[in-house]
Amino acid sequence: MGTVYTILNSLKIDKSFYVQFILFIVFFNILAPLLFKKIQIILELRESKTVKLDSHANHVYKQAEDLAEEYKGSVEKTHQDAQSVATKAKSEILSKERTILTSAEEKMTEEYEGKRSVLLKDFSNKRVAVMADAEKLSNTLVEKLTK
């Protein structure tokens, strides 16, 4: 026990320590309900607000994801609509070009056939004329050769 007194004396703890300890316990029991319960209420309120805000944040995040999906869907639908309009316009233009090309081809074919028939007719007339003169020309040639 002597060593305990020596240690307590070296720490400068004397008989007033017991009085201070009792006063500390009394004040703690008096102040605890006044201060610590209020602090506990404040901590619980803060926790409930943060947890509530966390769930609210999750809800808002879910709404944002839904809106993003809706936006992506509308963009995709608009893109598909634009593609269908462009494809339709392209097919109409190609159809008109095909019609114009076909009519131009028919016109050129008619023009070619017309000029061809005129040339064949002219060629045939010249041939008939040459063949009609062939007898006379052959006789003239024979005379010139024999002379």
Q: What is the pLDDT along the chain (147 residues), one digit of tens a residue?
A: 788 878 877 877 777 888 888 999 998 888 888 778 888 888 888 888 877 777 788 888 999 999 999 999 999 999 999 999 999 999 999 999 999 999 999 999 999 999 999 999 999 998 888 888 878 878 888 888 887
Amino acid identity at 8: L
Amino acid identity at 40: Q
pLDDT of residue 73: 94
Pick left, alpha or beta for residue 52 (phi over 0 → left; psi -120 to 50 → alpha; otherwise beta).
alpha
pTM above 0.75, yes or no: no
Amino acid identity at 66: D
d(CA 119, CA 67): 77
pLDDT of residue 50: 79
